[in-house]
Amino acid sequence: MSDKDKLLPNEDGKGPLRDISGKNNSVNAPWYFGTGFILFWMLLFFAVVIPLFYRLPLALIVEDGNDGEFIGERAYNTLNNLVNIGPKVPGSNNNEVDAALFLLNEIADIRNNLLEEYFTLEIDVQRTSGAHIYSNLLEVYQEVQNIVVKLSSKNSTSESYLLVNSHFDSVLTSPGAGDDGFMVATMLEILRVMATTKQHFEHPVVFLFNGDEEMGMQASHGFITQHKWAGNCKAVVNLDAGGSGGRDILFQTGPSHPWLANYYKKSAKHPFATTLAEEIFQAGLIPSDTDYRIFVQHGNIPGVDISQFTNGFIYHTKYDRTDVIPRGSIQNTGDNVLSLVRALANAPELYNVQAYETGNSIFFDFLGLFFVNYSEETGKNLNYSIAGVTLILIFISVWRMSAISCLSCCHVVQRLIFLLIIQIIALSLSLTLPLLVAYFFDSFGLSLTYFSSPYLLIGLYICPSLIGLTLPITIYYQSLQQNKLPSIYHLQLALHSWAILLSFLALGITAYGIRSVYILTFSIVFYTISLVINLLTTFHDRGYSWAGSVMSFQVIPYLYISYVIYIFIVAMTPINGRSGSASNPDTMIAVLAALGTVLSFGFLAPLINMFRRPSFVVLTLVLVSGITMYLASSTQIGFPYRPKTNSERVMYQHVRRIFYEYDGTISKDESGYLFNFQDRREERPFVGVNLTGSVRTRSECEKHMMCGMPLFDERWVHNRLEGMWLPRETIEPPFPTKLELLSKTVLENKRTVRFEFRLTAPQYVSLFIEPYKDDFVTISNWTFSQTYLKNPPAYPLSYHIYITYGSHSPTIEFMLELSKPNGDFKVPLFQLGVSAHSLGHKGDVISEKFATTFPYYAVVVHWPSEYQRHIF
């Protein structure tokens, strides 16, 4: 056997594997090659992944007259005009009148240019009222607005419609360029192109411009449960945003309708999607929601959810403006959505959607270059067979090693098991070291240091993870003494054991039903290909030739995995600035960075042992980590907030709170500012603002129902968003709130009492209701949803009914029936909190002061609020 001759040590000790001690058989290269090797891969990420991640097409301009194409320039101008209206809160004049008129004018313009021989265009303005349970509260809405346009081909008789949705309202603090004006402008341009191009489509397309998403997805609920066209809508394309100015991502499909991903594949010009995003989003790990869920849940239709997500720092702030959006971004989204809408509007599946409910799919794009999708079933088979084939090939390789080195198979397997243990240690270290960094930084009050300087992540988490990945194998390799097995085989076995580890993980996670395991399979399959090549070519026996094949095949999974993880780091970093103070947000970023490092470097990191002085690589990594940690903790580079681009978010309300006792007397009437800090550092970066005299609201939460404050967001109650109360002089809310008890009647059964109330309040009002449970009082009936009554939220939350009025300020009459076993109704039975919010009033001194003294301060929720607590 000629190969065997080559491998055995020559008598003069000059064979290719002459030194089996593992000390001197490194590639003949200078000591810094090991470090250069790691650096090369890092640079590859910046040279390939980053440019492709941010790549945008050139926006088409009107003069070019590209017939039938999405014109980015026109959409951009439309967006600019919409944004100039300012913040568009449901119920405000901006939203209900100005924005609606703007849209109707745009639509009228499109209708004037309609190809009337080909298409019909119908417009309907819907004012809708209803209620739905969202999270732990009941959302009641009155007269919120939808502008609905139906475009149909004249020679088609299809009764199945395609729904396309975006919302034109915004939060109070933002003009809403990215969220969601961008998608509204995109939809208008798509409507214009489709209405003026001689291109037939089978199914009518319903364009829903909805006027209330931000208050709790009210308008989409009103449309899908009540509009005359809702029953015909068989699938939905939902368009929303958690950021702006990047590429649009398809992050939810179905559920259980894999054909939708097929149409995306066929049509999307700039594909961008991953199953991992869908699984993370649907697991509730992202504190956000879209109308897509309303359509799926209440309309029982499948669809696709497409969103902008980069630059989430400005989401819901006053900096969410048109000037931070490149025109190429709207061209990218427009190209994608126009062709997807055209494709779906011709999809035969729309005639009978239920027949195509055939399970979930796995889908992803490769660096934006192409799109891959297959069924979950195929995915399972792929994962199982790739893991199986890999294990078999590793067995063959082990057998071959034993044959060539004249050692028993048992001996080689022993080594393999030993290396497997080392790799398990490496895996654990590479995951825990970044977590330790996250833990220590946070325990010194230094969370979010990477918030404005994302490149710090390299030294903070990626280098520690690499240390974990390389240290055990380096120590092992360096300490190899006279071993019968050639030392190069030890390195091969190290990679084999990594493949075994990943294969078993892939098998386990697949069996658990997680589709995103395709990422592991991605990593394994390219190792397996190089393994086949090395076995066929006997590269395994020629020094480090085999490593060349491993490295070249790892380029693809390396680029892909780092790309996928980068998507999540871009998406999650801004969210960490508003995810509350209860837990350390760095943990998630550390886990992401560690997973990315482990999966992209798993087959590469051990290869530093090919070069001389691999311990030098580990030392370099330690040094880079150390310097970065110093910069992050002790210099301005690591300070978390930057004006305009990376602002801190603080919400505040001007509150007057009045406590009415059982006998109607007032026990408390005070005014103050209520701050809710949204980040882990809370008020500490809030420098320049005098908070003397303020108290934490946490102490109030123990004493009063819902903390005795107008906490209309339940996240504030659990102290996830820490609150502070700063007393100030009495304020007079612009719209006073009045609660009247109209009647109190004991019913015939003597165990139930009925209260009737009349409430006069501003357009946004919360009712908190809590019966005295100690006396076994229960609410047996009321004016509101019976489903919600029977499913009360868990303590410390009380019943919470959030009421939004789209057109005018309400007078609400409602009834409550309370039951009590002993029938004694002459004592306190329940607490009723009324929290009412008016739109911001201008010129408040303190907000001006904040803006000048605290430039990092982004979100000013300028609600003048009134809170009344009553006992009946």
- Footprint of Zn ion on this chain (CB under 5 A)? 179-180, 240
What amino acid occupies position 563? Answer: Y
CA 51 – CA 45 distance, rounded (Å):
9
Per-residue exposure over 448-470, b if at least 16 CB sit within 10 Å of its own CB, e if not = bbbbbbeebbbbbbbbbbbbbbb
Closer CB to Zn ion, residue 329 or residue 449? 329
Nearer to Zn ion, 179 or 202 (CB): 179
Cis before residue 87, ω within 30 degrees of 0?
A: no
- In the bound state with Zn ion, the residue whose beta carbon lies nearer, of 293 and 613, is 293
Least distance in Å: CB of 352 to Zn ion? 32
Q: 3-state class of 815 per DSSP? A: strand
Whole-angstrom distance, CA of residue 96 vs CA of residue 144: 8
Structure tokens that stand for 180 in this block: 């969601």
What are 171's two structure tokens? 């939060």
Cβ atoms 237, 163 nearer than 8 A: yes
Q: Tell me whether strands 137-153 and 799-805 are parallel, antiparallel or unpaired.
A: parallel
Smallest separation, CB 289 to Zn ion (Å): 10
In angstroms, the CA 331 to CA 723 distance is 42
Alpha-carbon gap, residue 861 to 316, rounded angstroms: 10
CA dist 207 and 164 (Å) reads 5
Q: Which CB, 210 or 620, lies closer to Zn ion?
A: 210
Q: Among residues 240 and 714, whose Cβ is nearest to Zn ion?
A: 240
Between residues 176 and 708, which has the closer beta carbon with respect to Zn ion?
176
CB 184 within 8 A of CB 166: yes
Least spacing, CB of residue 179 vs Zn ion, in Å: 4
Q: How many whole angstroms separate alpha carbon 237 and alpha carbon 304? A: 5
The minimum distance between CB 89 and Zn ion, in angstroms, equals 13
Q: How far is the CB of 400 from Zn ion (least distance, A)?
A: 58
CB 478 within 8 A of CB 615: yes
Closest to Zn ion by CB, 215 or 829: 215
Q: Please report how close the Cβ of residue 178 comes to Zn ion at its closest, in angstroms.
A: 9
Closest residue by Cα to residue 262 from 376, 373, 378, 379: 373
Sequence length of the chain is 872
Cα(605)–Cα(554) distance, rounded to whole angstroms?
A: 11
Closest contact distance (angstroms) between CB of 167 and Zn ion is 6
Give the residue with the Cβ less far from Zn ion, 239 or 495. Answer: 239
**Rounded CA gap, 707 and 705, in Å?**
5
Nearest to 246 by CA among 77, 450, 52: 52
| Rounded least distance, CB 565 to Zn ion, Å | 25
**Cβ-based nearer residue to Zn ion, 217 or 524:** 217
Shortest Å distance, C-beta 240 to Zn ion: 4
Question: Please, which residue, 239 or 618, has the CB nearer to Zn ion?
Answer: 239
Quickly count: other Cβ atoms within 10 Å of residue 34's Cβ.
27
Alpha carbons 805 and 803: distance in angstroms, whole number: 7
Where would I find the beta strands (DSSP E) of 399-534?
none
Q: Which is nearer to Zn ion, 135 or 428 (CB)?
A: 135
Q: How far is the CB of 331 from Zn ion (least distance, A)?
A: 21
CB of 471 to Zn ion, least distance (A): 45
> How far is residue 681's CA from residue 451's CA, in Å, rounded to a whole number?
12
Mapping DSSP to helix (H, G, I), strand (E, B) and coil, where does residue 854 land?
coil
In angstroms, the CA 173 to CA 169 distance is 12
What is the spatial distance between Cα 35 and Cα 32, in angstroms, rounded to a whole number?
A: 5
Residue carrying the six token digits 């014109």: 71
Do the beta carbons of residue 638 and residue 632 sit within 8 Å? Answer: yes
Report the distance separating Cα 640 and Cα 632, nearest Å. Answer: 9
Question: C-alpha distances in angstroms, 145 versus 95, 210, 294, 510, 806?
Answer: 9, 7, 16, 45, 7
763 is written with which tokens?
A: 């357009």
- With CA atoms as reference, report the closest residue to 284 among 259, 252, 319, 316: 252
Could you tell me the smallest distance in angstroms from the CB atom of residue 678 to Zn ion?
18
Distance separating alpha carbons of residues 668 and 679, to the nearest angstrom: 31
Closer CB to Zn ion, 70 or 292, in the complex: 292
Give the type of residue at 435: L
Task: Note if the bond before 271 is cis, omega within 30 degrees.
Answer: no
Q: Which residue number, 240 or 320, has a Cβ lying nearer to Zn ion?
A: 240
- Of 180 and 586, CB closest to Zn ion: 180
Cβ nearer to Zn ion, comparing 179 with 349: 179
Q: What are phi and psi of 326, to 5 degrees?
A: -70, 145
Assess contact for 707 and 721: CB atoms under 8 A: no
Tell the smallest beta-carbon distance from residue 307 to Zn ion (Å): 9
Rounded (10°) angle between helices 487-512 and 518-537? 150
Instruction: Kindly state the tokens that stand for 309.
Output: 């997500």
What is the smallest separation between the CB atom of 761 and Zn ion, expressed in angstroms?
A: 26
Check: CB of residue 518 under 8 Å from CB of residue 275. yes
Q: Which is nearer to Zn ion, 219 or 446 (CB)?
A: 219
- State in angstroms the smallest separation of the CB of 171 from Zn ion: 9
Least distance from Zn ion to the Cβ atom of residue 651, Å: 18
Compare residues 139 and 179 and give the one whose CB is closer to Zn ion. Answer: 179
Please, which residue, 179 or 365, has the CB nearer to Zn ion? 179
At closest approach, how far in Å is the CB of 681 from Zn ion? Answer: 26
